Structure 1
Amino acid sequence: MTTRPKRPEDRELTLTERARRSQLMEVTVGLVADRGYAGASLAAIAERAGITKAAVLYHFPSKAAVVQAAHEHVLGALVEHVGAAVEAAGADQGPAAYVRSMIGHLREHPRHTRMIIEAMVHGDADHEPADRWRPLGDLLRAAEGVLGARTDADLRTLAIITGGAIDAVVAERLADPDYDTAAAADRIVDLVYASRPA
């Protein structure tokens, strides 16, 4: 009876394996950003990484797996950046920090933005709408002292509207690299803080 060698997902990764997986995720982000989901084939990932397709398959069992890992890597960087900004800002300024850091991070990392969009359109994962608006809704609730008391439905709607505005600003920046996203972020913040209930 032959025993197959343990795959990376079956054990703790070595430093070299972690570095290679990180490289493959970065290569995949670049390919998806440059060529779209369809253009990020296993052969293209291998070629850009300077390794064989078999070596890619050693680390990830399929194209979907490497794309999913790259997507999670990009989302992790975004969440870490936004989370640090929100934490540093305090409760009253949490929504402003969320808007500015979300737009700022995606402005500074347009390839990440394209990766997120492509993975959402072509990926197999289900995306719950509440996963997008609830974190901002919680920040809006925590900032009640400056935003005024609101119903949960009002907070949800404000979070959805604000999230849509962020998405639109980021999309506009992808289409027009000269678009001033910092000014747009400030305007969104002004609208959020000016929309106190009557």
Structure 2
Amino acid sequence: MPPQPDAVARRPSITERARREQLIGLTIALIAERGYAATSLASIAAAASISKAAVLYHFSSKQAVIEAAYRSVLHDLTEHVGPRVEAAAGPGAAVEEYAAAMIGYMADHPDHVRVIAEALGDPDDTGIGDSPGSAARWGALAALIEHAQDAGEYRPADARTQAIMINGAIDAVVAESLNDDGYRLADAADSVVDLVRRAARG
């Protein structure tokens, strides 16, 4: 039986899409400033100068807009890192560019750093199920490492473990930047890439 006309999802207008993007951007800023727990529908609405009902017109709940903000951050991060990895000079360089691009993006987007750091905390607080050790985080990097090994640029080792270690190094320097405003992520990126190169290439 075909769906009834009122059951078919209506495509958002340009104005509605712009409003959604505005709400997502404001939510990212609020999470970065206050954390997930203190980011409420009321605070999002106030930042946008609209009512809570207007926010709920675009998102079904606080969790929905927070999830959208988190996914937006991940999308932007992927859009930054992906092309740099693809443009790398070889398989080993692709792994190293992954680390450099990840840290470089975090250095340029401190609000996004805090959103990701908050999201990878207690899922009971954030409602987001991602975790630092999830396969979604290490799987793509492990595949890059395996490609570098197959090409003979990296010596044989467990790619999953190496991916977890590289992500751990990235997480550590990013966390340090959150604790110390004077800590330079740009310098940290060079150190992490050098560590990866020395460990994997031999």
Scaled by the length of structure 2, the TM-score of the pair is 0.87
Pair 1:147 & 2:157 matched? no
Pair 1:54 & 2:61 matched? no
Distance 2:78 2:17 in 1: 21
Deviations 1:27-76 (A, max 9, x none): 00011111111221001000001111110000001000000000000000
Partner residue in 2 for 1:111: 111
Q: Does the Cα contact within 8 Å between 2:99 and 2:193 map onto a contact in 1?
A: yes
Distance 2:80 2:200 in 1: 28
How much is the aligned-residue C-alpha RMSD, in angstroms? 1.9
Q: Does the Cα contact within 8 Å between 1:158 and 1:192 map onto a contact in 2?
A: no
Distance 1:197 1:80 in 2: 27
Partner residue in 2 for 1:178: 182
Gaps of 5+ in 1: 1-5
Deviations 1:131-183 (A, max 9, x none): 111111111112223212x24xx211111111000001011111112212222
Structure 2 counterparts to residues 1-198 of structure 1, below 5 A = 10-90=9-89, 91-121=91-121, 122-127=125-130, 129-144=134-149, 145-148=152-155, 150-151=156-157, 154-196=158-200
Q: How far did residue 127 of structure 1 move?
A: 2.6
Deviates most, 184-193 or 64-73: 184-193
Q: Does the Cα contact within 8 Å between 1:29 and 1:111 map onto a contact in 2?
A: yes
Quote the sequence identity (%). 48
Distance 2:128 2:46 in 1: 27
Q: Which runs of 4+ in 1 moved over 4 A?
A: none
Relative to 1, partners in 2 of residues 1:172 and 1:89: Cα closer, same or farther, differing over 3 Å?
Answer: same
Instruction: Say how many residue pairs are matched.
Output: 189
Q: How far did residue 197 of structure 1 move?
A: 7.6
- AA paired with 1:132? R
For residue 26 of structure 2, give the secondary structure of its aligned residue in structure 1.
helix
Distance 1:167 1:48 in 2: 30
For residue 87 of structure 2, give the secondary structure of its aligned residue in structure 1.
helix
Distance 1:111 1:197 in 2: 34
Distance 1:64 1:28 in 2: 11
